[in-house]
Structure 1
Amino acid sequence: MAGTLIYLIGPSGSGKDTLIDLARQQLGQDSGVCFAHRYITRPASAGGENHVALTEEEFLARQRAGLFAMSWASHGCHYGIGIEINQWLAKGLTVVMNGSRGYLKTALQNYPELCPVLIEVSPEVLKERLARRGRETLQDIELRLNRNSQFDLDAEKGCLRVDNTHSPEAASQRLLAIINQHRRQGACA
């Protein structure tokens, strides 16, 4: 029996990493749920998510070796999800991952059990979070906000939605409910 892939998407700064961390605190000991780490060509010291930092050369070598189930490039970095998720899904586990809106169409083609979850946040809060993070210039932040407005996710397979504008704790409860629902039903609803 194939598991379900919970594929979190949303703009940078929407709080995906925070919500994944909160869900991991609740479900990390549960043998039926796995949280996939991303491989990123960004130093571990850059902050943000708990990821596996690779140089660009290391990343491209792993990509050529077929060690990524998914990989994409965005904002000057390469991102990958390891092929271990295929084993987890084959064992019937629920896999939670931080995905990419730009890669969603390809991911849906390759993983029919994929359940996209859009983390939403108001533009004002998003701008504030990006500025507070301190990784981008104000010009880069404006480019991210403009990019965010160009995505039309309603044209894709129906995304479940989690509003993370106000309270990460409330948003994490909604995400936990989605994960638990898929553990019981095994299908995106």
Structure 2
Amino acid sequence: MFMRYFARFYSAMAGPRPVVLSGPSGAGKSTLLRKLLKEYSGVFGFSVSHTTRNPRPGEENGKDYHYVTREAMHAAIDKGDFIENAEFSGNLYGTSKAAVQDVKDRNLICILDIDMQGVRNIKSTDLNPIYISIQPPSLDVLENRLRNRKTESEESLQKRLLAAKMDMEFSKEAGVFDVIIVNDNLEDAYGQLRDALLEEINQVKKVNMSS
């Protein structure tokens, strides 16, 4: 019954094919996303996730995340408001149906920035996105990037490194991702990302120009 509901929900969600962007924290997803959204402001839309963690300096509610209480998040999950949800470092994260629909309603390609648990969850739905993994050149490079941020405690950093190691292995599983991009050089990585999405980009631009 659950999967039949998802089938009905997604068949009603006409519009551009979404993009699932995944990879460990520090791999460069956010930087690549900002470049993509800047170059194609009328093509892509970012699905704003929900989280129970506190905002970091400079983050805005409703723009970076929807910051909610743990109680509110659990209530929404129980109501079936989320496509996927996961817990990391004691905080809940999730992608709501409303966030994806909001982007698709504007005839934009919805970008979902989610972790490997979320990828597994979406694989069991009819969303049919393009799956792209952004990976660091190595675990050592990733650790240096995370330490240079100076936003993590040592305990939190070690948890992220452990999750990153698992994520790097997950990205190698056959059939999980359509495209795997190793972000060793930002411009090269961005070029690969843009090329992977060019067909969808051109379709959306064509529709928007004719409307």
Q: TM bucket by the smaller chain?
A: 0.7 to 0.9
The alignment partner of 2:160 has SS state of helix
TM-superposed CA distance for 1:125, in Å, is 1.9
Q: Is the CA contact (8 Å cut-off) linking 1:3 and 1:90 kept in structure 2?
A: no
The alignment partner of 2:120 has SS state of helix
Query: What is aligned with 1:62?
Result: 76
The alignment partner of 1:13 has SS state of coil
Q: Percent identity over the alignment? A: 21
The CA distance in 2 between the partners of 1:19 and 1:78, in whole Å, is: 24
The CA distance in 1 between the partners of 2:126 and 2:145, in whole Å, is: 31
Residues 1:137 and 1:36: Cα distance change in structure 2 (over 3 Å): same
| Contiguous gaps of at least 5 residues in structure 2 | 1-13, 205-211
Please identify which structure carries the higher strand content: 1
The alignment partner of 1:103 has SS state of helix
Residues 1:131 and 1:119: Cα distance change in structure 2 (over 3 Å): same
2:181 paired with 1:162:
yes
The CA distance in 1 between the partners of 2:144 and 2:75, in whole Å, is: 37
Answer with 1 or 2: which has the greater Rg.
Answer: 2
Query: What is aligned with 1:106?
Result: 121
Which of 123, 137, 151 matches 2:139? Answer: 123
Query: What is aligned with 2:5?
Result: none
Q: Is the CA contact (8 Å cut-off) linking 1:119 and 1:164 kept in structure 2?
A: yes
Q: Is the CA contact (8 Å cut-off) linking 2:23 and 2:134 kept in structure 1?
A: yes
The alignment partner of 2:56 has SS state of helix
The alignment partner of 1:45 has SS state of coil
Aligned residues: 183
The CA distance in 1 between the partners of 2:55 and 2:162, in whole Å, is: 27
Query: What is aligned with 1:180?
Result: 198
The alignment partner of 1:172 has SS state of helix
Residues 1:80 and 1:147: Cα distance change in structure 2 (over 3 Å): closer
TM-superposed CA distance for 1:10, in Å, is 0.6
Query: What is aligned with 1:27?
Result: 40
Which of 29, 40, 43 matches 1:16? Answer: 29
| Contiguous gaps of at least 5 residues in structure 1 | none
Which of 101, 105, 111 matches 1:96? Answer: 111
Q: Is the CA contact (8 Å cut-off) linking 2:133 and 2:177 kept in structure 1?
A: no
The CA distance in 1 between the partners of 2:197 and 2:75, in whole Å, is: 33
The alignment partner of 2:116 has SS state of coil
Q: Is the CA contact (8 Å cut-off) linking 2:49 and 2:95 kept in structure 1?
A: yes
TM-superposed CA distance for 1:179, in Å, is 2.5
TM-superposed CA distance for 1:62, in Å, is 2.5
The CA distance in 2 between the partners of 1:137 and 1:174, in whole Å, is: 33
The alignment partner of 1:4 has SS state of coil
Q: Which amino acid aligns with 1:175?
A: L
Q: Is the CA contact (8 Å cut-off) linking 2:81 and 2:96 kept in structure 1?
A: yes
Q: Which amino acid aligns with 1:64?
A: D
